[in-house]
Amino acid sequence: MLIVSTIVGLLTILSVLLDAFETVVLPRRVQRQFRISAWFYPRTWIPWRRISSRIKSRSHRENFLGYFGPLSLIFLLALWAAGLIVGFALLQYGAGGHLQVNNQPLTFGWLLYHSGETFFTLGYGDIVPNSGMARALSVLEAGMGFGFLGTVIGYLPTIYSSFSRREIEISLLDARAGSPPTAAELLMRLGNSSRQEVLDQVFRDWERWAAEVLESHLSYPALSFFRSQHNNQSWLGALTTILDTTALVIAGVEGIASEQAKITFAIARHASVDLAQVVKARYDPETPDRLPAAEFARLRQALAERGVRVREGAEAEQKLAQLRALYEPYAQGVARNLLITVPPWLHPEKIKDNWQAGPWDRAIQAKSLAGLAPPKRPGQGPDEHF
């Protein structure tokens, strides 16, 4: 029994340390069959997602889903700490050699308590190890407790720094592509610019953003569960919008060169494929088409009205279909797993950007209608915000 306890305790400690190393330190995706964190996330996310499905209000549901990412980090750290405490308690049970000040019989429960107070360096002294092995294990566990505290201090700021960098570009996309962003809005606002460099610079910025998201979300998979600050924004929605836009430019838009679009499409597609594997997304052949013929015709007309003309002909349409097949199944698979809405190619109707909305807008408009607001400058229309 003592040998079995020692072996189980040693395996538990090694499993926790290996998982913590792979999650916090190792900067790459691990494909090993069993990992504690890989076991933890599906078994906590699935019930969380089911509970959220019972919430009728979309905003309340998004707020509830937004709690999972930060809470999952806390629960995962607690699971690691509990695993180390139990593992050392099993080793102490196998090693033997402890004295209790009140001379009560030592049980595994008391050794579990002793392991906990040693791990968190409380040191009450009511249970004292009196053998060489027991003392060595206590010193090792106390040192590991300090190391665990250092891991927590270093891990959480790194996660939130990566999250902040991700969200900055998503917020910048608001004025360029709408809320939620769409390929049609991005091309209508930037595609008819007199300078090719304007759109190319946007594509370069998002090329780097896609590479950073790929790196950070592979290194820290928990970031995939972190929701954006606004309910109509998401990292998946932004990534899909950039893929839609670059795919359309590559397929053919008159007056717009496709060299930079091809480079941005490549890294963005790479990110969508790898991150789909991170969240264990599955292919669904029954997923509805995001751009049926009627919707594509409406997209083409809307762009033409703003001076952006999509190349016509079977060759261009076939090229766009081939490009879409490279990323849409992955984006839709991630969306199903994470309960994120994939943005359309074109909004059915005009929607205000996030920057155009505010909690005081109705009061200001009512005041303006009542003649209490300052008069507008000559020539200033209702939509001339710049």
Task: Please report the DSSP string for 111-173 in residue order.
Answer: HHHHHHHHHTT----SEEE-SHHHHHHHHHHHHHHHHHHHHHHHHHHHHHHHHHHHHHHHHHH
Matching CATH number, 2-153, of 1.20.5.440, 1.10.287.70, 3.40.50.300, 3.30.70.100? 1.10.287.70
Please tell me the predicted confidence (pLDDT) of residue 32: 66
pLDDT at residue 384 greater than cutoff 60:
no
For residue 156, what pLDDT is reported? 85
d(CA 335, CA 329): 10
Reply yes or no on whether the pLDDT at 26 is more than 70. yes
Answer positive or negative: Cα dihedral of 168, 169, 174, 175: positive
Quote the tokens at residue 344: 């359309």
Which tokens go with 169? 């570009």
Least confident of 14-18, 133-137, 190-194, 200-204: 190-194
Residue 227 CA to residue 365 CA, distance in Å, equals 32
| Segments making up each domain of the chain, as ranges | 2-153, 164-354
DSSP 8-state secondary structure symbol assigned to residue 254: T
The yes-or-no verdict on residue 367 having pLDDT over 80 is no
Q: Which residues of 111-120 are buried (b: 16+ CB within 10 A; e: fewer)?
A: bbbbbbbbbb
Task: Read off the pLDDT band of 377 (50, 70, 90).
Answer: very low
pTM of the model: 0.84
Flag the least confident range among 67-71, 124-128, 344-348: 124-128
Q: Does the pLDDT value for residue 103 go beyond 80?
A: no
C-alpha span between 301 and 188 (Å, rounded): 11
